[in-house]
């Protein structure tokens, strides 16, 4: 079984992605999670480029990582300097990182147009930089920037840059598809030619960008062609269209190709790590992402659901538990009885395929979705719907009426929102009013104020997210809207939905479902 090194550059190359920003504290937290996953090398940043990266390298020394080794990144020295006097190389040494990775130019176009030096001088920069750094680190890697473009333009010169890197003492030569334009059919042939030219015993790595949507494929093919190191980022973050996505590469190498890596031994931590990086970066996870996305093993069509209930292999290329993910059964207007039964089991409800209630639920579901309801992000509302059909739902209060006033008195001041609610709980009427930041917040405050004296557990509940979608049913301001609300307490999160031509009414429906779901779960916990 071949051993593959996994080199993560999320903290450096990943942060070049638009809207992906990390503080030093963020980078330290992510580094620890990557170490826990079993990543072999964690590229912390470019210490010669900014103070934040310098701070990271000084701070990471205070942490005892279990497996990963920290790498500092930089470039070959400037043409006007000697290697020993170059400030960027000195910054790499001062980082005290055990691993140093530098990049150099492989493409003659870049040498002439970007560096504006001779081809021979570029070769000197590569060899001299590596010779200097080799004295000051434990492990030295060389990233051959734009290698595949350079090879296609002038293969002899591109190979010569690699030979100079070997002479400089690089332990591994990493071939970079920096523009992300190389096609999968080219990768294996070029790597085979490279290996023949420099020797079979020289370790190769690969670093792909995703501008042609083939970074993962190219990385896997490179490994099949003989590369022993793969560079990439968590969730594929990176400049422009991103880098090769390690969340797809690691399970593919492990489960599909039978290759060995430390991260491959910890695959069940992959999904949690991927979503942790999204959370730290304050970005919404990509639910459609292979392997680790929330929809990666989600089933919606009734035929699919029926099949995976009998044998998951019918519509799942791997078992989701292998990568720390879960199978999900969605509910929609495509649903059949199999979906409903599967969902009932997920909720801990006892339903049989022959139970006529199942048909009632399917019918209600399709009718509601034809009106614009969507339950895929509002499973709490769907559970309440099921319980109502089964006759096990409970009505916690009756609405006697509500009124919302949104009043603006001056042009330069925000509107003032006030809501009044009247409800009946167990024969007792409660009439309250509350203000809020907008009409929905005021309504939320008012209903909670009315109910908390009867149900104090509602004080634990908070609203996390509120989304409004205009539905293409009728044009203009008379269109229906769908409101999705995400709520939480200290134990759980749940989603609810409402639909109406009136945004306040739609919001009320979703708010009430959220409250009822909280009360239902509180009752169940008390019963336990």
pLDDT per residue over 80-99, tens digit each? Answer: 999 999 999 999 999 999 99
Number of residues that this document lists for the chain: 528
Indicate the pTM of the whole model.
0.73
Average pLDDT of the residues of the chain: 92
Burial class of residue 81 (count of CB atoms within 10 Å of its CB; 0-12, 13-18, 19+): middle
pLDDT score at 7:
99
**Which two three-digit tokens encode residue 525?**
């916990």
pLDDT per residue as tens digits for the range 45-68: 999 888 999 999 999 999 999 999
Rounded to an integer, what distance in angstroms lies between the CA atom of residue 293 and that of residue 285? 7
Fold of 5-265: TIM Barrel (3.20.20)
Q: What is the pLDDT of residue 476?
A: 58
pLDDT of residue 409: 87
Which residue did the predictor score with more confidence, 331 or 498?
Answer: 498
The whole-number pLDDT of residue 204 equals 98
* Residue 121: partners with Cβ closer than 8 Å, 6 or more residues away: 79
Strand, helix or coil at 327? coil
**Tens digit of pLDDT for each residue in 239-280?**
999 999 999 999 999 999 999 999 999 999 999 999 989 988
Please report, rounded to a whole number, the percentage of residues in the chain having pLDDT higher than 70.
96
Inter-residue contact 140 to 130 (CB < 8 Å): yes
Q: What is the pLDDT of residue 315?
A: 86
> How close are the terminal C-alpha atoms of the chain, in Å?
49
* C-alpha to C-alpha distance for 60 and 52, rounded to whole angstroms: 12
Strands in 118-195 per DSSP E: 139-145, 172-177
- Give me the pLDDT at residue 212, please: 98
CA distance 313 to 304: 11
Tell me which residue of 376, 352, 351 sits closest to 365, measured CA to CA: 376
pLDDT digits (tens, 9 = 90+) for 117-136: 999 999 999 999 999 999 99
Say yes or no to pLDDT of 195 above 70. Answer: yes
**What is the pLDDT, as a whole number, of residue 475?**
56
Q: How is the chain split into domains, by residue range?
A: 5-265, 298-390, 398-527
The string of pLDDT tens digits covering residues 271-320 is: 999 998 998 888 878 999 999 998 999 887 777 777 887 788 888 999 99
The half-sphere exposure of 413 on its side-chain side, counting CA atoms within 13 A, is 8
333-354 per-position pLDDT tens digit: 556 676 677 777 777 777 777 7
Q: What is the pLDDT of residues 509-527, one digit of tens each?
A: 999 999 999 999 999 888 7
Section 157-171 average pLDDT: 98
Helices 503-527/379-390 angle, 10° precision: 70
Neighbours of 356 (CB within 10 A): 9
- CATH architecture label of 398-527: 2-Layer Sandwich (3.30)
């Amino acid at each position: 079984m071949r051993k593959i090194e996994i080199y993560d550059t999320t903290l450096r190359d990943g942060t070049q992605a638009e809207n992906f920003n990390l503080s030093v504290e963020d980078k330290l937290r992510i580094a620890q999670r990557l170490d826990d996953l079993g990543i072999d090398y964690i590229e912390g940043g470019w210490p010669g480029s900014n103070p934040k990266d310098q701070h990271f390298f000084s701070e990471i020394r205070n942490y005892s990582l279990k497996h990963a080794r920290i790498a500092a990144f930089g470039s070959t020295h400037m043409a006007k300097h000697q290697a020993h006097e170059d400030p960027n190389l000195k910054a790499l040494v001062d980082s005290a990182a055990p691993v140093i990775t530098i990049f150099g130019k492989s493409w003659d176009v870049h040498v002439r147009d970007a560096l504006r030096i001779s081809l021979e001088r570029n070769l000197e920069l590569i060899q001299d930089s590596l010779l200097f750094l080799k004295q000051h680190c434990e492990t030295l890697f060389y990233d051959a920037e734009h290698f595949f473009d350079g090879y296609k333009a002038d293969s002899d010169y591109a190979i010569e840059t690699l030979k100079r890197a070997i002479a400089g003492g690089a332990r591994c030569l990493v071939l970079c598809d920096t523009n992300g334009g190389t096609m999968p059919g080219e990768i294996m042939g070029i790597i085979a030619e490279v290996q023949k030219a420099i020797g079979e015993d020289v370790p190769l790595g690969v670093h792909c960008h995703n501008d042609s949507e083939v970074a993962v494929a190219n990385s896997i093919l490179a490994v099949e062609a003989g590369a022993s190191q793969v560079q990439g980022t968590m969730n594929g973050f990176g400049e422009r269209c991103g880098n090769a996505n390690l969340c797809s590469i690691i399970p593919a190498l492990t489960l599909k190709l039978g290759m060995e890596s430390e991260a491959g031994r910890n695959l069940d931590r992959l999904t949690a790590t991927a979503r942790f990086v999204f959370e730290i970066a304050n970005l919404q996870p990509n639910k459609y992402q292979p392997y680790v996305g929330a929809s990666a093993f989600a089933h919606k069509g009734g035929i699919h659901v029926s099949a995976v209930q009998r044998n998951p292999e019918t519509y799942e290329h791997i078992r989701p538990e292998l990568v720390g993910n879960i199978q999900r059964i969605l509910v929609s207007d495509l649903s059949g009885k199999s979906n409903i039964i599967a969902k009932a089991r997920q909720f801990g409800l006892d339903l049989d395929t022959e139970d006529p209630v199942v048909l009632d639920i399917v019918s209600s579901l399709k009718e509601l979705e034809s009106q614009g309801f969507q339950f895929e992000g509002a499973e709490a509302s769907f559970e309440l719907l099921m319980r109502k059909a089964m006759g096990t739902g409970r009505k916690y209060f009756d609405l006697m009426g509500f009124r919302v006033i949104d009043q603006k008195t001056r042009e330069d001041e925000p509107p003032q929102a006030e809501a009044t609610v009247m409800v009946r709980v167990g024969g007792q009427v409660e009439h309250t009013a509350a203000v809020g930041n907008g009409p929905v917040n005021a309504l939320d405050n008012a209903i909670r104020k009315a109910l908390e004296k009867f149900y104090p557990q509602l004080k634990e509940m908070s609203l996390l997210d509120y989304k409004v979608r205009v539905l293409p049913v009728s044009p203009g301001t008379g269109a229906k809207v769908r409101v999705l609300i995400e709520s939480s307490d200290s134990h759980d999160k749940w989603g609810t939905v409402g639909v109406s031509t009136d945004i306040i009414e739609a919001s009320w429906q979703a708010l009430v479902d959220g409250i009822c779901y909280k009360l239902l779960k509180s009752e169940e916990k008390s019963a336990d």
